[in-house]
Structure 1
């Protein structure tokens, strides 16, 4: 006997008998919505909507393929940039070559040093966090070119290239001498603060020298990691000296720190030589870069050697922690000037625990030996 569920009040029983064509559709494996439609339980609109939902969804096109015209025009899109970043034409990852030497002109005039030092002190007094970005006055220079010289053979080759390149036009820098005038304060994207060099014949001669050196280096097979447009300058502050400033929220050099000194005059520097300098080797006794080679010009006159108001003053750079002199760091039990630092309470406790532990091990060993002898 077929079981039927009871009806509620006012509810009429609906004939749910499935017609033969619906049964045939079920045998043929058609979807369940078709069965309900044939049985009269689903309307035509509901059936159409169900069929649409069963259609396979189209996969979303990649962001780059959605705009093929950008590829045709050679424009870099976001995904394209990610794929091509740090890769060369063969698809292999590029090797990052960093410069370790540079050709520069030493800025040694005490007048320039004192002016730079005065501006640095003013900025650090206004924002002490920038102390670590200060360029020591003893290292002031103007960069002409940078290079990657991996071994002494490449350094010797670079020195020979400098000698040959400067021997051709040496008189151009001897008579009259090149004199660089530093005036005005500018920045590179508020990341590097520098003193600008006034334009004129001297600047043109230095630009020609820089171009001649770069071309000679390339012809000799020496690696020049970067070939940017030549813009000679005298660096005063550089944020990249201290990456920890980003964690402190210092992302740029605030213009208000130097706004009153934009037209500041720093002095002049007579170019007496061109040097091949190492970025990584220890500084010399005067705090200047290690010089691997130097081409000296025939320039008359002597430069003042009084650096009491600049280089001989205490460094403005990042100060060591209290009790630590220079690069020397103190360990917990190190001696300072022949005297032992008094031990702290924690160190006394550690010593006592070590002593008790040693005594306990000794006593346990003796007891074990005594028991074994019995």
Structure 2
């Protein structure tokens, strides 16, 4: 027989527990958002090649109803709070390319040693395919599964052929970001198609992904934002004379074989590579 008042006490305890859980979730979300706001996007640096094959990651089992609720909540997230903290990366591992970039960087540093702090780290060269916001473990798991779903869609675009990216020449974005250019050709069209299908696939899962500006694939080798103190020293732009000897330099070709889902915030590996939650191998 139920004791008087017990039902009311249990009900209050459940309400208190539910309220604490809600407060905890709100605190966690706010803390993550504060970290994201403080982190500049200019810190994207990825590493040299390391062997990874497709890694499957299972989501926690949940009902379709709960999944739809979570998806609706993600879609309702205010766009003003959108600060990417994950990205899809195509690593650049061809030694001819990375050696050429290192020579370019050294040539610039020889002319102005202060610019050493603006250079991308050795082995960090990559092309960003898509940026996104994954705020918790559940969303990271969805991101991992979505990347695996993306693999056959990418291979359908490639139609059994390898995607080879030739790099030649140097340019800047508004004299703030130095990058090695992709040569013109069908490979750019395929890369744009892959980026678009990736964006659409992640957004269909309720993930905030992509940017307002159009996708412009590039291989960054320096950013003035890495050393903001240079502005006080009068260095506000990248002088074209610093890289004029490489303006038409042919750096080499990269065969795309892997796409990584990387975190901008999690602790980097000892070799400088960003934390990688999952990877897929393309065309094998």
TM over 0.5, shorter chain: yes
Q: Do structure 1's residue 130 and structure 2's residue 108 form an aligned pair? A: no
The Cα shift of 1:208 comes to: 0.4
What residue in structure 1 maps to residue 222 of structure 2? 237
**Secondary structure at 2:166's aligned position in 1?**
strand
- Determine whether 1:215 maps to 2:194: no
Residue deviations 1:206-241 (CA, integer Å, cap 9, x gap): 110000011111121111262321110100110111
Q: Secondary structure at the match of 2:123?
A: helix
Q: Is the 8 A contact 2:177 2:222 kept in 1?
A: yes
Deviations 1:35-80 (A, max 9, x none): xxxxxxxxxxxxxxxxxxxxxxxxxxxxxxxxxxxxxxxxxxxxxx
Please say if 1:296 is aligned against 2:281.
yes
Contact 2:129-2:217 at 8 Å conserved across structures: yes
Name which structure has the greater RCO, CA cutoff 8 Å, separation 6+.
Answer: 2
- Deviation of 1:94 after TM superposition, in Å, equals 7.5
CA 1:94–1:141: 2 relative to 1, 3 Å:
closer
Counterparts of 2:269 and 2:220, CA distance in 1: 20
Residue deviations 1:231-253 (CA, integer Å, cap 9, x gap): 10100110111111111111010
Corresponding pairs, count: 207
Judging changes above 3 Å, is the alpha-carbon distance between structure 1 residues 94 and 112 closer, same or farther for their aligned structure 2 residues?
Answer: closer
Aligned with 2:208: secondary structure?
Answer: coil
SS at match of 1:120: helix
Question: Aligned with 2:233: secondary structure?
Answer: coil
Question: Post-superposition shift, 1:123?
Answer: 0.1
Structure-2 separation of matches of 1:220 and 1:165? 12
CA distance in 1, matches of 2:159, 2:238: 38
2:128 aligned partner: 143
- Contact kept? 1:194, 1:236, Cα under 8 Å: yes
Q: Higher helix share goes to which structure?
A: 2
Q: Cα distance, 1:160 vs. partner?
A: 1.5
| Alpha-carbon shift at residue 122 of structure 1 (Å) | 0.5
Which residue of the partner structure matches residue 177 of structure 2? 192
The match for 1:102 is 87
- Residue 94 to residue 198, structure 1, CA distance change in 2 (3 Å): closer
Rate the CA distance shift 1:108–1:169 in 2: closer, same or farther, 3 A: closer
Shift of 1:174: 6.9
TM-score (norm 1): 0.53
TM-score for the superposition, normalised by structure 2: 0.69
Larger strand fraction of residues: 2
Distance (whole Å) between structure 1 residues aligned to residue 268 and residue 139 of structure 2? 21
Deviation of 1:96 (Å)? 4.0
Q: For structure 1, which runs of at least 5 residues remain unmatched after alignment?
A: 1-92, 300-374
Runs of at least 5 residues in structure 2 that lack an aligned partner in the other structure: 1-77
* Partner of residue 155, structure 2: 170
Q: Give secondary structure in 2 for the equivalent of 1:137.
A: coil
Contact persistence 1:174–1:298 (CA under 8 A): no
Please tell me the root mean square deviation across aligned C-alpha atoms, in Å.
Answer: 1.8
**Structure 1, 198-207 or 109-118: larger mean CA deviation:** 198-207
Matches within 5 A, 1:37-116: 95-116=80-101
**Once the two structures are superposed, what CA deviation does each residue of 1:328-354 show, in whole Å capped at 9, x if it has no partner?**
xxxxxxxxxxxxxxxxxxxxxxxxxxx
**Kept after mapping to 1: 8 A contact 2:89/2:129:** yes
Check the 8 A contact 2:167/2:251 in 1, yes or no: yes
Give every structure 1 segment of 4 or more consecutive aligned residues whose post-TM-superposition deviation is greater than 6 Å: none
